Amino acid sequence: MKMNLKFDYNFICKTILQEQLGALNLEYKIHSLSEVEFKKKPTETELQYVTQALEKYGITIIVDQQSALVQRIKELITELINDTEKSRKYNASDYLSEKLNYSYAHLSSVFSETTYSSIENFIILKKIDLAKELIIHKNYTLTEIAHELNYSSVAHLSAQFKKTTGLTPSAFQRIINKRKKNE
């Protein structure tokens, strides 16, 4: 028997943080998935414990400020793309600038220097990932997906999908439908 799963990464990460930080009785506040503030500075021993406890879940503590900013940018882009009402209201550059209190030029520069890719490319990748999720789990039509992800047309969505995955959305849908029939 095969079971398909969908994960709520935000919930999982928050739960892990709460469990591991709570085990130390540290007073903290989770500002976002990539930012935790401690009420008082943890001891070196407590930091080592937290580091080891989180690493077994694939969570690493970021010491470098640029990397932390890039992680926050990625998190905000994911949040924006997953909230279709918000993504219709804001363009990504304004949203990031407003949330992070930096100019978009600065954010774009830091992102590119750290990841060797652009914010725009990351946005496209996240949109295509969401498009695949909508095809797999919701059986949305391409028109519905284009509308949901704020594409100007189905042709624009299809072009980005093919460039990113090597498949047209229609070919991807056929593969998924064939898999579902064979289960």
Q: Using alpha carbons only, what angle is made at residue 12 by residues 73 and 56, rounded to the nearest 5 degrees?
A: 90
Domains of the chain in start order, with CATH, are: 20-61 (no CATH), 63-117 (no CATH), 121-183 (1.10.10.60)
In the structure, what pLDDT confidence band is assigned to residue 5 with cuts at 50, 70 and 90?
A: confident
**Percent of the chain clearing pLDDT 70 (strictly above):** 99
pLDDT of residue 33: 67
Exposed, middle or buried, 50 (CB in 10 Å: 0-12/13-18/19+)? buried
pLDDT of 84 > 80? The answer is: no
**Cα–Cα distance, 132 to 35 (Å, whole number):** 29
Give the DSSP H or E segment for 31.
Answer: strand 28-32
Q: What residue type is 99 in one-letter code?
A: K
Report the pLDDT averaged over residues 18-45.
Answer: 84
Report CA 168 to chain centroid distance, whole Å: 23
In a 13 Å sphere around the CA of 179, the CA atoms on its Cβ side amount to 11
Residue 85: the pLDDT is 80
* Gap between the terminal Cα atoms of the chain: 9
Per residue in 6-29, pLDDT tens? Answer: 788 778 888 888 888 888 888 888
Does residue 94 register a pLDDT over 80? yes
Q: What is the pTM of this model?
A: 0.73
